[in-house]
Amino acid sequence: MPKSRHVVSVLAASAVVLVGAALTAAPAQAATRDRCLNGTWTMSPAQATAYMNRLTAASAGAGGMDLHVTSGPITATFAGGQFTVSNGSYQVTGTGPNNADVTATASYSASAPYTTRSGKVVVGPGTAVVHMGNMTMTVGGQAITVPVGDQTVNSPGARTSYTCTRTKLTWSIPVPSGGTVQATFTRS
């Protein structure tokens, strides 16, 4: 390899390493994250069911649907400037468009960068993946099963209020139709 090409390769590799380190270091400023949030938090199945029903009512109600959720636990992890939330299992039942009876099972996970400022969690843009099993809709006594599959959604991020103690995290989660839903987690 000619000497000039080798130098260009080394400089290019060095630039990649330096840019990568700068991008990694920029969000890691200790002053912008509340250490109280660090770790994994869990919402019990009963709390998760109540939360998911409030969230679903606020979102689906605007679309003329009446849906109810039975949920497993929801976990939220704050580590290294990254926020991850997941719900391993939930079932949705109710009435959908055109008075169709709806039954579906799903799980989800989402991840995004975060910081804290003035009593608010600031979650940046991220990605959510909803793993949805078959959805069954019954219309006029006839059942229709639709394989839904995985849905990947880009989330725009949000800035919401929270309170954090050594054992309890309470967070106001924005809903698509406007307003917020209160979510309570305990440290795992």
Q: State residue 108's pLDDT score.
A: 87
Q: State residue 76's pLDDT score.
A: 94
Sign, Cα dihedral of 142, 94, 66, 109: negative
100 shares a domain with 25: no
165 shares a domain with 111: yes
The residue with tokens 């309890």 is 168
Q: State residue 79's pLDDT score.
A: 95
Which is more confidently placed, 166 or 105?
A: 166
66 shares a domain with 17: no
Q: Give the tens place of pLDDT for each residue, 92-108.
A: 888 877 778 888 888 88
Question: Shortest CA distance to 111 belongs to which of 88, 91, 87, 84?
Answer: 84
62 shares a domain with 21: no
Cross-strand pairs, 158: 123
42 shares a domain with 17: no
φ/ψ region of 88 (left if φ > 0, alpha if ψ in -120 to 50, else beta) reads alpha
77 shares a domain with 23: no
Which is more confidently placed, 188 or 31?
A: 188
9 pLDDT above the threshold of 70: no
1 shares a domain with 70: no
Q: In this structure, how many other beta carbons lie within 10 angstroms of the beta carbon of residue 85?
A: 22
- Identify the H or E element spanning 44: none
CA–CA separation, 116 and 50 (whole Å): 26
Q: Give the tens place of pLDDT for each residue, 20-57.
A: 222 222 333 334 889 999 999 999 998 888 888 877 77
Helices (H) and strands (E) in the chain, counts: 2, 11
Question: Shortest CA distance to 55 belongs to which of 88, 87, 77?
Answer: 87
42 shares a domain with 129: yes
Q: Give the tens place of pLDDT for each residue, 130-156.
A: 888 888 888 878 888 888 888 888 878
42 shares a domain with 18: no
| Total domains present in the chain | 2
44 shares a domain with 16: no
158 shares a domain with 68: yes
Structural domain containing residue 3: 1-29
51 shares a domain with 9: no
